[in-house]
Amino acid sequence: DVKVTQSSRYLVKRTGEKVFLECVQDMDHENMFWYRQDPGLGLRLIYFSYDVKMKEKGDIPEGYSVSREKKERFSLILESASTNQTSMYLCASSFPGQENTEAFFGQGTRLTVV
Amino acid sequence: QKEVEQNSGPLSVPEGAIASLNCTYSDRGSQSFFWYRQYSGKSPELIMFIYSNGDKEDGRFTAQLNKASQYVSLLIRDSQPSDSATYLCARGRAAGNKLTFGGGTRVLVKP
């Protein structure tokens, strides 16, 4: 079974804190993604990585950065957490090369910024 | 206009009936489409994808794609209470398999 594992299910952080969300996949996928999910808005792409040390901004990158030092691990960083970053964060991974390649999701991290 | 649009629902269907979910998209260049199912508190899981005009069937699920009219639909036959979930429509973007999601349709199957 493909496994995408996110380090925390629930997090509560204070405004202004630096927050790290970690994601690990065990399928040797080249592509990794960070999405956030908000009611009525669906999933929105924050950042995408197609190889180690390679990253690309998604649709809503403001206030976030990412790190991919190893193929299996993709970290999302909130430089200075704000209340509007309270959301469900989902990591995903996939093989590259084809538009119809399935993305596998982690279980999600529900982040609350107070 | 959102790139991918879905009716948020809830779509209430009796057990055994057909649930019909619709999704429209704005980018005529879109090539591939995905339907994900997401149970409350869980992560999305792929039901099926489609990239050719017409129908694609997999068990009780049928995806339909009409590129001329820019819509994709999902039919769930013989709906079961276990089908109660939010269904997410997504289009694939050529570069890097990135997905653009709609807001999701919540489906309630009543026994």
pLDDT in tens, B67-82: 999 999 999 999 999 9
Write down the pLDDT at residue A97.
Answer: 67
- Mean local confidence (pLDDT), B13-19: 97
Name the pLDDT band for B94 (thresholds 50, 70, 90): low
Q: Which of B6, B49, B98 sits opposite A48 (nearest CB)?
A: B98
Bin B70: left if φ > 0, else alpha if -120 < ψ < 50, else beta: left
- Contact flag B43-A106 (C-beta cutoff 8 Å): yes
CB proximity B100 to A under 8 Å: yes
pLDDT in tens, A29-60: 999 999 999 987 889 999 999 999 899 999 99
Cα nearest neighbour of B92 on chain A: A99
| Number of residues in chain A | 114
Residue B94 with chain A: CB contacts under 8 Å: 99
Name the pLDDT band for B65 (thresholds 50, 70, 90): very high
Residue A48: which residues within 8 A CB-CB, separation 6 or more? A31, A32, A33, A34, A55, A56, A57, A58, B96, B98
pLDDT in tens, A80-90: 999 999 999 99
Name the pLDDT band for A100 (thresholds 50, 70, 90): low
pLDDT at residue A96 greater than cutoff 80: no
| pLDDT averaged over every residue in chain B | 92
Write down the pLDDT at residue A42.
Answer: 87
pLDDT at residue A99 greater than cutoff 70: no
Name the pLDDT band for B11 (thresholds 50, 70, 90): very high
Cis check: omega of the bond before B10, within 30 degrees of 0: yes
- Contact flag A50-B96 (C-beta cutoff 8 Å): yes
- Contact flag A40-B8 (C-beta cutoff 8 Å): yes
CB proximity A89 to B under 8 Å: no
d(CA A53, CA A49): 8
CB proximity B48 to A under 8 Å: no
pLDDT in tens, A63-82: 999 999 999 999 999 999 99
Strands A104-105 and A87-94: antiparallel
- Contact flag A99-B97 (C-beta cutoff 8 Å): yes
- Contact flag A102-B49 (C-beta cutoff 8 Å): yes
Distances (CA, A) of B85 to A75, A86, B19, B108: 29, 23, 12, 7
Write down the pLDDT at residue B96.
Answer: 61
